[in-house]
Amino acid sequence: MKYTRFLLLTLAVASLICSCKKDKEENPLSYYVTPYPYDIVSVEEPPASNEIRNVIFLIGDGMGLEQVSCAWVLNHGKLNLDNMGVVGLSRTYSLSDLITDSAAGGTALAVGQKTANSHIATDPEGNPIPSMFVKAQELGKKTGVVVTCLMPDATPSVFCSHSDNRYKYDEVVDGYAKSGVDFIAGGGLDYFGKKRKDARNVAEEMARAGYAFAQTETEMMEAHLPILALLADDNLPVSLERGDLFRHMAAKALAELSANSDNGFVLMIEGSSIDDWLHENRIDLAMEELLDFDRVLGDVLQWAAADGHTLVVVTADHATGALTLQDGDLAEGRIGVGFGNDSHNGIAVPYYVWGPGRNNFGGILENAELGARITSCIR
């Protein structure tokens, strides 16, 4: 009997080993080493009790803890995210699905209320819900969005527009024209004109209404508020091609918003394309987008440290790709990863907080509660 049990156990183990080898052969790991490692910033965090005048909210689309862990290895064990002293977890499910999409996930963060998938700052019945930008504007603060995606994509739109369907692009773009947002920078020029069903050119309409309309980085850098910078027909070029454009967009937003308001500002910055390349299971491009996002965060932290009155919050709307870090070398900055799918997952994502007001955060929160707490810090 003992021999039989031993034999069965041996066969089971052998079968498992063969199965694992087969799975590894059929699903080989994707390896990557970034050609552009960088030094992180060193900043002194202001007292938590300082008055909050500005809020900068950075969202890494698709950036779960697994993605951050991979980027940390690629940059030889350091990220600007390491400066963030308060860390917690955000649960991302929507009212309609355990696995959120970016519209519902972003809405929860922007308005402090959960909704159903596909909804842009509306409740499940389609009723508009004001984002944190509305509160900021009522208090006389400036507002801005900086993204690497097309402007009518889900995350920037939940701060600036409303729709019961994220793919009603004409309706979403119309919301930008009505939003009163002072600094708008990203891609998606075609969606403001060429791709519209009604043949309107909303970009030109916004220019006639007073926006400085920029189509190049040079034009953006020379413009003054209010600014509409649509720097690509669709999404911006990938990180490896666009150079420091994302950093320059964020720096310009900080300069313009801070110089033109005595009451402070609220700025949302999204690393949009992290998610896009995770959907494609392209670890190389996804990681370069995340590392570029972290470089932008470093710039933001340096600015905020000099200011002393700026709350900085970083999180994700969800994680993407069912990513697993299975191999690599910290000294070499090399990773080997596997993907479980090409879509989102329901794992809680980290959030990070720095600066005055940080004592309002910590622990496990619903994404809507995280959004509500950020909104409560707009004063």
Amino acid at 162: H
Q: What is the rounded CA–CA span in Å between residue 265 and residue 142? A: 4
**Could you tell me which of 351, 306, 348 has the C-alpha nearest to residue 93?**
348
Q: Are strands 86-91 and 349-354 parallel, antiparallel or unpaired?
A: antiparallel
Helices (H) and strands (E) in the chain, counts: 13, 15
The DSSP element (H or E) to which 10 belongs, if any, is helix 2-26
Q: What is the rounded CA–CA span in Å between residue 287 and residue 285? A: 5
What DSSP assignment string belongs to 27-40?
SPPEEEE-S---PP
- Given 90, 102, 163, 239, the catalytic residue: 102
Q: What is the rounded CA–CA span in Å between residue 130 and residue 145? A: 16
Paired strand residues for 279: none
**Could you tell me which of 113, 117, 125, 115 has the C-alpha nearest to residue 100?**
117
Q: Which residue has the tokens 């990513």?
A: 323
Tell me whether residue 102 is one of the annotated catalytic residues. yes
- Reduced to 3 states, what is the DSSP secondary structure of residue 336? strand
Amino acid at 132: M
Q: What is the rounded CA–CA span in Å between residue 180 and residue 21? A: 57
Half-sphere exposure of residue 65: CA atoms within 13 angstroms, side-chain side:
12
Answer yes or no: are the C-beta atoms of 190 and 233 closer than 8 Å: yes
Catalytically active residues, by annotation: 102
